Amino acid sequence: MGRESVMPGSGSGSESRNGMQHLTDIWTMKSMRCEKYAIPAFFFLTNFYAVHNFATMKIRNKEIFDLHADLCKTLSSPKRLMIIALLAKKELSVGELAEVLEVPIANVSQHLRTLKDNFVVKARKNGQIVYYSLVDPRMVEACNILRSVLLEKMKARGKVARNINPEELIDE
């Protein structure tokens, strides 16, 4: 008449079935009670879906994740990260940055444009010279935290033999 209750692992082959079929193998709706365990079936289902129904989770503000991803793209260049580290020490011109980084001024200008377009750096003109500084010094703290995590992972893998302070990677 009704379906026979089968426990998982009982050799019925239910382990290879999808989740809903597996559930029907475990319980039946006969008299609104689980045949083997005398537990109301609706209680079993309610608790199963309360624990396993992730569709009820909501992300309140998806735009912040888009902004975060854009910022991560902006920071994806090692040269840009070096520029941020240098600007954490003091305001610098394009020429000064190019000299320290040992790259052409045109390349530094492109990196600064990207950083400026994404509100990481700001420019101040003094006569013919444009000086750059960080919009928000917390950017340095965020980068230091990430570098600290990376250094710990490198130490754990044996790739870094000595202690390196992520805040002291730039010599003045």
pLDDT at 59: 85
Q: Same domain for 40 and 66?
A: no
Together in a domain, 79 and 134: yes
Q: Which amino acid is at 169?
A: L
Contact present, 44 and 34 (Cβ < 8 Å): yes
User: Pick from 48, 52, 11: which is nearest to 27 by CA?
Assistant: 48
Q: What is the pLDDT of residue 141?
A: 93
Whether 7 maps to a domain, the answer reads no
Q: Answer yes or no: is 85 within a domain.
A: yes
Residue 119 sits in the same domain as residue 146: yes
Count of domains for the chain = 2
105-117 helix and 78-89 helix, angle to the nearest 10 degrees: 80
Say whether both 29 and 91 belong to one domain: no
Residue 1 in domain: no
Q: Looking at the domain assignment, is residue 9 inside a domain?
A: no
pTM to 2 decimal places: 0.62
Q: Domain containing 91: what range?
A: 61-172
pLDDT per residue as tens, the chain (172 positions)? 444 444 444 444 444 445 554 444 444 444 444 455 555 555 555 555 555 556 678 888 899 999 999 999 999 999 999 999 999 999 999 999 999 999 999 999 999 999 999 999 999 999 999 999 999 999 999 999 998 898 888 888 877 656 677 677 777 7
Last residue in a domain, options 41, 56, 71:
56
Triad 131, 69, 93: Cα angle to 5°: 10
> Domain check: are 97 and 19 in the same one?
no
Q: Are residues 70 and 131 in the same domain?
A: yes
> Do 67 and 150 fall into the same domain?
yes
Residue 33 lies in a domain: yes
Clarify whether residues 77 and 120 are in a common domain. yes
Q: Is residue 8 part of a domain?
A: no
Is residue 123 domain-shared with residue 44, that is, in the same domain? no
Nearest to 143 by CA among 131, 134, 154: 134
Q: Are residues 67 and 22 in the same domain?
A: no
Do 168 and 92 share a structural domain? yes
What pLDDT, on the 0 to 100 scale, is given for residue 33? 47
Residue 30, in any domain of the structure: yes
pLDDT confidence of residue 151: 86
Q: Is residue 3 part of a domain?
A: no
* One domain, residues 69 and 135: yes
Write the CA distances from 171 to 51, 98, 100, 137, 152, integer angstroms.
53, 16, 11, 18, 21
CATH number at residue 117: 1.10.10.10
